[in-house]
Structure formats: C-alpha cells, structure tokens
C-alpha cells in the first residue's frame, strides 16, 4: 500500500501541526510505502516572495527530517523537481468541468472573502490530483478541509479511466483530525491565524514566556478545580507527558493545592523535553545543507522513476505517444 502526503512550505510549524498531521504521517512509515513531497508549486498561488519560498521549503525539509521522516524508509522530494506533475495537470485539466472547480470550497471561500483568485487557486484541485495520481497512490491522509479535494481527485481519475481506459489508480482517503485535539494557548484550535501557537522549534526564552502567559481563571492554588480536565495546560500535558504524569497533575489540580504557575512551569518543561532530540537533530541538519539537498534530490530521482511510468501510461492512453 502506497501512502502520499503533501507538505505545505508555509513557515514555522507548531505542535498542532505535529500532533495533527506530522506524527501520524511519520508513524505511517512503519506500515507501508510512504511518499512525502514539499508542495512548493502550490505555495505560488499566494506567496510571491521567491526568497521566502526557498527559505520555507528548506525549513519544511529540516522540520520533517528532524521530527523523524526517514529518507531510507520513505521517498521525500520537492514537488517542483518532478516536471511530470505539470504535464499530468494539463492532461487531467482537459477533462475537468468548470463547474466542478467552481464548487471547490476553498475557491468559494476566497470569493466570499473578497479575494480575487488567480488561475492557480482556481486550478488547485487539478494540480493536487496530479500530485496524487502521478505516483499510483492508494491512500491519502487528509484533513476534513481537504476531503472535498480528494473526492475531486477520485472523480478526475474515474473520468480519465472512463474516457481512455483503466490507466490511473483511484485513491482512497484517510481522514485525520488535523490538530483538532490540540488547543491553542487561548483555548481555541491551535492556528497561526489566531496567533495562539506553540512552535516546535523556536527560542527557549520566548516560548517559555508564551507558556507562562497562558491565561487561567482567578481561583487560588488552594481551591479545588473540579473541571480540571478543561484546563488548557492539562489538555496539552496529555499530549506532551506520559499518561501517568498528566493524570497526576490533573488530580492535584482537582483536589486543590496546585498553583497555576507551577502547572505552567511543568507544562513548559515537558514540552521542551518532548522535542529536545528533534531540536538537536535539526541543528545538525541545518549545519549541513548539502546533505539535506542531496536527500531531496535522491528522493526526486526515486519519485520520478514512478512518475515517468505513470505519465507514460497516461500519454499512451490519451493518444499522445505510441
């Protein structure tokens, strides 16, 4: 079974990204053939600073490799290193009805918010379909907000197969929580747009200040807190500490006698320790950019070996070559 995951090079990653998408994707390396790509073509629909794109792409590679993506067990590459993806995008696009793209929720959201969408935003589902279909992908883990695009990918594959014969593998979705279980520092879902994130990699002093700045209620340390399970720090501890440790802090909070300041100090220490090995690994990788580049290029070679064969099938089926 082949699983494919697209990585958006959108800047600093936070623990909502990690627990919602990164960790499940990395754990999948133990359960089948995994393909991971950094979607730098997709970033061009909204980011127009080339230096920022290069920086974000490099950071995405560092972050994922540091957090456990293993290029010996998976295929890892930059989207733009595979020219076949743009050709398959065109081939698929000739079969996609305009109405299907106009019904895309992301496209409609842009219109509703007064954003003038470019062709890339309008055609985003076609490029996403090419990303998936080019590698004979069986399963695609997606968040609920991307489910429609995966359904559109399936529609495009089926439509192509109906028009030209059985050629493309029709993938299945695996819906993931996408950070739904990770509260932000203000209690809402952790999101960069809310400014309530806790970064995976960042300055220790600044991150400690953010954790210690979590707003709690006015109850004194001595007062019992029967609703301890709703406490933001407790919810985060469940992710970052062992179940026994998280339960102990929750019980102490519930019984009374534990101050919020001590709770937040404990939260920071568990958070900082949780990603300690990843921080060391990231620093080592950042000091050796040639190695990271070689990982991406070798991954592109492996990915392209598959992509070229799938595109050849599609070209032959569509009458573009004998």
As annotated, the active-site residues are 110, 189, 192
Q: How far apart are CA 270 and CA 63, in angstroms?
A: 20
Q: How far apart are CA 258 and CA 231, in angstroms?
A: 13
Q: How far apart are CA 110 and CA 273, in angstroms?
A: 40
List Cβ neighbours of 177 (8 Å cut-off, separation of 6 or more): 20, 143
Give 275's strand partners.
Answer: none
Choose among 40, 5, 2: nearest CA to 23: 5
CA neighbours closer than 13 Å in the CB half-sphere of residue 225: 25
Q: How far apart are CA 78 and CA 58, in angstroms?
A: 10
Give 176's strand partners.
Answer: 143
Over the Cα atoms of the chain, what is R_g?
A: 22
| Contact in structure between 192 and 17 (CB atoms under 8 Å) | no
Q: How many helices (H) and strands (E) does the chain have?
A: 16, 5
Using N-to-C axis directions, what is the helix angle for 232-240 and 260-274, rounded to 10°? 30
Helix (H) / strand (E) containing 137? none
Choose among 131, 74, 86: nearest CA to 299: 74
Using N-to-C axis directions, what is the helix angle for 243-255 and 260-274, rounded to 10°? 170
């Amino acid at each position: 079974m082949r699983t494919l995951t697209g990585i958006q090079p959108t800047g600093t990653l936070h623990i909502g990204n990690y627990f919602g998408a990164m960790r499940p994707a990395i754990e999948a390396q133990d359960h089948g053939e995994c393909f991971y790509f950094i979607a730098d073509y997709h970033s061009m629909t909204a980011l127009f600073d080339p230096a920022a794109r290069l920086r974000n792409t490099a950071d995405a590679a560092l972050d994922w490799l540091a957090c456990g993506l293993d290029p010996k067990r998976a295929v890892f590459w930059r989207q733009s290193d595979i020219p076949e993806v743009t050709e398959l995008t065109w081939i698929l696009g000739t079969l996609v009805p305009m109405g299907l793209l106009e019904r895309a929720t992301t496209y409609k959201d842009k219109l509703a918010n007064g954003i003038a969408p470019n062709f890339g935003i309008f055609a985003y589902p076609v490029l996403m379909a090419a990303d998936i279909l080019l590698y004979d992908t069986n399963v695609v883990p997606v968040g609920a907000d991307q489910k429609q695009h995966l359904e559109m990918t399936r529609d495009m594959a089926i439509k192509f197969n109906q028009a030209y014969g059985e050629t493309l593998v029709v993938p299945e979705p695996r819906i993931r929580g996408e950070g739904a279980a990770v509260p932000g520092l203000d209690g809402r879902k952790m999101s960069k747009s809310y400014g309530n994130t806790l970064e995976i990699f960042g300055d220790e002093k600044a991150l400690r200040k953010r954790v210690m700045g979590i707003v709690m209620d006015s109850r004194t340390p001595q007062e019992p807190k029967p609703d301890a399970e709703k406490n933001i720090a407790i919810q985060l501890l469940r992710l970052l500490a062992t179940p026994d440790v998280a339960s102990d802090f929750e019980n102490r909070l519930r019984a009374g006698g534990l101050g919020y300041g001590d709770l937040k100090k404990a939260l920071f220490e568990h958070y900082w320790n949780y990603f300690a090995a990843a921080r060391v690994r990231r620093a080592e990788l950042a000091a050796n950019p040639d190695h990271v580049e070689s990982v991406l290029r070798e991954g592109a070679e492996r990915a392209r070996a598959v992509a070229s064969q799938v595109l050849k099938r599609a070209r032959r089926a569509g009458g573009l070559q004998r």
